[in-house]
Chain A
Amino acid sequence: MKALRKLFDNIKPLVEEGGKFHAFRSFVDGFETFAFVPNQTSRQGCVNIHDAIDSKRIMSFVVISLLPALFFGMYNVGYQNYAAAGTLADSTFWDLFIFGFLAVLPKILVSYIVGLGIEFVVAQWKNEEIQEGFLVSGILIPMIIPVNTPLWALALAVAFSVIIAKEIFGGTGMNIFNPALITRAFLFFSYPSVMTGDDNVWVAQESIFGFGNNLPDTFSAATPLGEASVGNAIPCETICNAITGLIPGSIGETSVIAIALGALLLLFTGVASWKTMLSVFVGGGLMGWLLEGVGGNQLEWWHHFVLGGFAFGAVFMATDPVTSARTECGKYFYGFLIGVVAVMVRVLNPGYPEGMMLAILLMNLFAPLIDYFVVQRNITMRAKRAIKK
């Protein structure tokens, strides 16, 4: 530890203004604050003591809460591949997991390298510290895309979302839309064939380093939600698998159990608002119940919770503090409407089997409006009080 401290102390002068390697200031600074809590003390005229919480710790805990879903996602990638090839019986747990790990790892790396790379450049350019927001986005992105998404498309989408959805607004805390969902939306609309197109995107099709199986080109597997959207009934067994997570789908979104573990941590630490999370389920459940049986819809109201990205979106995306409603009262409306719109898109729009992404992005846009009404009530109250006197 002391050696590390010394190393940073030695490097620091080189990256300061006028130093030889000034271009790497944000990079070194990022790693230093990662290794050591900054020793900077509070300034004159400010509070002299501080709570130990900072955005690094908050973001780290969000990442930790995502890990169960991520690890299960890796296992499921392997499971789907071996199941499709019919060799499930001959394989061990580690075969499945390692194959999934190898299939998912490049996506995580691409997401972080592209996204954090842009963050470092922007921080250097604006002479600011690295903002931790992308630590979360960077892990969310690989979890909400199909396993067969090409890496070049992913890199392009990450770059687009970090620059257009986040940095031009001023960085973490200033963005209107959730950057991870913008990445997905970008892929969804720009490269529909690699996202949902021919139903052959959900299961990894090629073996990696001897793990996994090569599936024939003609192989295809639809997600249960895709099946439901064309009016097929969902068998009971599939619903059970959807709860454990052994269905085709985006990498991290399939297992309700793994997501619930993450949700518990988020709610316990207070990083995510229970108001938002609960309201999404209430809104989705209510709309699902109202639309039961409408237009050949075969889903019961609670099926919406376990299929597709509903649970994942409700727990990890809707509760993003920056893009959700910021007033406590507004969070109820914000979450409720996300649930309503998501199920509405699923059931009533034959074009899109999944509506969660679009519902959250739409409500990201309306969150400031919801807050406006809540804050306006306070403003009106104050104005009235002044007149009454």
Chain B
Amino acid sequence: MSKLIKLRKGLDVNLKGKAALETVSVKCPGEYALVPDDFTGMKPKVVVNEGDTVLAGDALFVDKKHPEVKFVSPVSGTVTLVERGDRRKLLSVRVKSDGKQQSREFDVKGDIKAVLMESGMFAFFRQRPYDVVANPEDKPKAIFVSAFNSMPLSQDFSYVVKGQEEEFKAGIKALSAIAKVNLGINVAQSKTFLNDVPNCEVTVFDGPAPAGNVGVQINHVDPINKGEVVWTIGAEEVIFVGRLMKTGRVDLTRTIAVAGSEVKKPAYATIKVGQKLDTLLQGQISDESSLRIINGNVMTGIKTSKDGYLAAHATEVNVIPEGDHADEFMGWIMPRFNTFSTHRSYLSWLFGKKKEYVFDARVKGGERHMIMSGEYDKVFPMDIFAGYLIKAIITGDIDRQEALGIYEVAPEDFAIAEFVDSSKLELQRIVREGLDILRKENA
């Protein structure tokens, strides 16, 4: 029996539009894009020219500092555009699919790390501290994988992994050649094969969101101290690695959840990393009303449009109303029956946990200094004083950030705290900027 860790702190928000457990097929559109910004903390160097033909698994750009870390094309076809923005910043590299899906063959026998770097799989690793693309020169003390996502409207990995169990196990086996692998699963998953995956240490987590965050799991299993490095990788990305190990080919096909109150038929869809979202959302959302399409989870994902491309790490696409013309009258005193709040001055506590809520993207208040105390701690299941850490980041006090445990956190760990914050501070952005500054200082 695996070790069970119970978490009390956290919050499950019940949103309308959860994905039904069925997979719809999505047409493969012509154009794909790989976006360097999805791989945080990396400076890209383009290695293809417009007009080149590429196979799936051929590098489109590499990391300037570590050119051996490659970022590869998900499909075979022709490079149509190397999109650049201000100061020639690389925005995306676009590939027009030839529809044949020919893949480069990799020899998977050699050094596993080299194989992963060459085939673009290494790009999916992230490291703590700093929550950036992993540095291949580091020796991580462990690799952490979370097999469940506890955020609202998120992908159910137990469903996704069905039929791909062997690939998942093969992926974990490959990772275990690099460092010790820790797998975090939830209580429901402890009755499936995930509880007995070989080559890794399995821990069961029982608790509300963000229990599925790998950062929370690291904090409870094997916390990061100064000078230590831990790598993390998404559960579905482990399947990518497994596929590579079994076939020698790169196949970046995901089964994502298309969910949210504005999706007509919320369900799962198979789609490749970098695929254009319009085919996915065709007929699924209304054209008239103002919507927010989120590349990733409603809590942590980034706003995009129909013309966006599936982000590298996104395991779901959520669509909610934008709400920029809501004009709610006297919100400070109205009962607001259909509005969710953790606060007892609203009536959500009366309706129980079963009621599903429609959320729009409004902040619903003005930004203030931190006024209430203990708000973050209630939904922050780590032994870290979240409020004090945020203050240390705002004031730029690096010694104090270190002392309070900044090396253990990633922006996503603050997502629920940011959701409940009555002062409406942008915690994830604050943490991201803090980590970036810290990384520069420590470099």
- Chain A positions within 8 Å of B, measured between CB atoms, are 1, 5, 33-58, 60-61, 129, 131-133, 170-174, 268-271, 273, 321-322, 324-328, 375, 378-379, 381-383, 385-386, 389
> Cβ of A173 and Cβ of B368 under 8 Å apart?
yes
**A161, B427: Cα distance in complex, Å:** 31
B223 neighbours in A (Cβ, 8 Å): 385
* B401-429 at interface with A (beta carbon < 8 Å): 403-405, 415, 418-424, 426-429
Q: Does B95 contact A (CB under 8 A)?
A: no
Closest to B300 in A: A47
Closest to B152 in A: A49
Q: How far in angstroms is the closest Cβ of chain B from A276? A: 10
**A44, B293: Cα distance in complex, Å:** 12
B327 neighbours in A (Cβ, 8 Å): 1, 5, 36-37, 39
> Cβ of B424 and Cβ of A50 under 8 Å apart?
yes
B339 neighbours in A (Cβ, 8 Å): 52
> Cβ of A48 and Cβ of B371 under 8 Å apart?
no
**A327, B385: Cα distance in complex, Å:** 8
B300 neighbours in A (Cβ, 8 Å): 47
Q: How far in angstroms is the closest Cβ of chain B from A76? A: 27
**A297, B324: Cα distance in complex, Å:** 63
* B289-339 at interface with A (beta carbon < 8 Å): 292, 294, 298-303, 318, 320, 322-333, 336, 339
A326 neighbours in B (Cβ, 8 Å): 373-374, 387
> Cβ of A48 and Cβ of B344 under 8 Å apart?
no
The stretch of B51-59, B156-164, B194-202, B354-362 that contacts the partner chain = B354-362
Residue pairs across A and B with Cβ atoms less than 8 A apart, 27 shown, are A1-B327, A36-B330, A36-B331, A37-B362, A37-B365, A38-B366, A39-B327, A45-B429, A46-B418, A46-B426, A46-B427, A46-B428, A46-B429, A48-B294, A49-B298, A50-B419, A52-B346, A53-B341, A55-B366, A55-B422, A57-B422, A58-B345, A60-B332, A268-B344, A271-B372, A325-B373, A385-B223
> Cβ of A378 and Cβ of B423 under 8 Å apart?
no
A5 neighbours in B (Cβ, 8 Å): 327
**A52, B340: Cα distance in complex, Å:** 6
Q: How far in angstroms is the closest Cβ of chain A from B430? A: 9
> Cβ of B360 and Cβ of A41 under 8 Å apart?
yes
Closest to B404 in A: A379
> Cβ of A53 and Cβ of B374 under 8 Å apart?
no
Q: Does B225 contact A (CB under 8 A)?
A: yes
Q: How far in angstroms is the closest Cβ of chain A from B74? A: 24
Query: Beyond A173-B368, A321-B371: 14 further Cβ-contacts under 8 Å?
Result: A36-B330, A37-B328, A47-B418, A48-B361, A51-B341, A53-B341, A55-B368, A58-B372, A129-B368, A172-B369, A172-B371, A327-B374, A327-B385, A382-B404
**A46, B432: Cα distance in complex, Å:** 10
> Cβ of B388 and Cβ of A57 under 8 Å apart?
no
Closest to A53 in B: B343
A133 neighbours in B (Cβ, 8 Å): 371
A171 neighbours in B (Cβ, 8 Å): 369
Smallest CB-CB A-B distances: 6 pairs: A54-B365, A173-B369, A37-B331, A386-B225, A326-B373, A37-B328
A60-B332, A171-B369, A379-B403 are known contacts. Are A53 and B225 too (CB-CB below 8 A)? Answer: no
**Quick one: which of A34, A36, A48, A382 contacts B299, CB cutoff 8 A?**
A48
Give per-residue flags for B218-233: 1 if the beta carbon is below 8 A from chain A beta carbons, else 0.
0000010111100000
> Cβ of B365 and Cβ of A48 under 8 Å apart?
no
**A52, B365: Cα distance in complex, Å:** 8
**A8, B361: Cα distance in complex, Å:** 22
A57 neighbours in B (Cβ, 8 Å): 331-333, 343, 345-346, 365, 422
Q: Does B31 contact A (CB under 8 A)?
A: no
A45-B428, A60-B333 are known contacts. Are A381 and B383 too (CB-CB below 8 A)? Answer: yes
> Cβ of B363 and Cβ of A38 under 8 Å apart?
yes
Q: How far in angstroms is the closest Cβ of chain B from A372? A: 10
A47 neighbours in B (Cβ, 8 Å): 299-300, 415, 418-419, 427-428
Closest to A45 in B: B429
B420 neighbours in A (Cβ, 8 Å): 51, 53
A38-B364, A54-B364, A385-B225 are known contacts. Are A49 and B320 too (CB-CB below 8 A)? Answer: yes
A51-B419, A378-B383 are known contacts. Are A42 and B361 too (CB-CB below 8 A)? Answer: yes
**Quick one: which of B361, B363, B371, B427 contacts A322, CB cutoff 8 A?**
B371
Q: Does B377 contact A (CB under 8 A)?
A: yes
**A322, B375: Cα distance in complex, Å:** 13
Give per-residue flags for B3-36: 1 if the beta carbon is below 8 A from chain A beta carbons, else 0.
0000000000101000000000000000000000
**A358, B367: Cα distance in complex, Å:** 32
**A57, B335: Cα distance in complex, Å:** 11
**A33, B368: Cα distance in complex, Å:** 14
> Cβ of B329 and Cβ of A54 under 8 Å apart?
no
Q: Does B384 contact A (CB under 8 A)?
A: yes
> Cβ of B419 and Cβ of A378 under 8 Å apart?
no
Closest to A376 in B: B403
**A170, B370: Cα distance in complex, Å:** 12
> Cβ of B326 and Cβ of A37 under 8 Å apart?
yes
**A258, B111: Cα distance in complex, Å:** 75
Q: How far in angstroms is the closest Cβ of chain B from A29? A: 9
Q: Does B342 contact A (CB under 8 A)?
A: yes
B13 neighbours in A (Cβ, 8 Å): 49
* B32-58 at interface with A (beta carbon < 8 Å): none
**A38, B332: Cα distance in complex, Å:** 11
**A98, B428: Cα distance in complex, Å:** 52
Closest to B405 in A: A382
B227 neighbours in A (Cβ, 8 Å): 386
B371 neighbours in A (Cβ, 8 Å): 55, 58, 133, 172-173, 321-322
Q: How far in angstroms is the closest Cβ of chain A from B413? A: 12
**A173, B390: Cα distance in complex, Å:** 14
> Cβ of A55 and Cβ of B423 under 8 Å apart?
yes
- B294, B360, B365, B373, most chain A CB atoms within 10 A: B365
**Quick one: which of B298, B365, B432 contacts A38, CB cutoff 8 A?**
B365
A34 neighbours in B (Cβ, 8 Å): 330, 332
**A360, B176: Cα distance in complex, Å:** 58
A38-B365, A45-B429, A382-B405 are known contacts. Are A51 and B343 too (CB-CB below 8 A)? Answer: yes
> Cβ of A52 and Cβ of B404 under 8 Å apart?
no
**Quick one: which of B303, B326, B385, B424 contacts A39, CB cutoff 8 A?**
B326
Q: How far in angstroms is the closest Cβ of chain A from B154? A: 13
Q: How far in angstroms is the closest Cβ of chain B from A215? A: 40
A46-B426, A50-B363, A52-B336 are known contacts. Are A35 and B329 too (CB-CB below 8 A)? Answer: yes
Closest to B330 in A: A35
Closest to A132 in B: B368
A49-B361, A53-B342 are known contacts. Are A172 and B322 too (CB-CB below 8 A)? Answer: no
**A173, B391: Cα distance in complex, Å:** 12
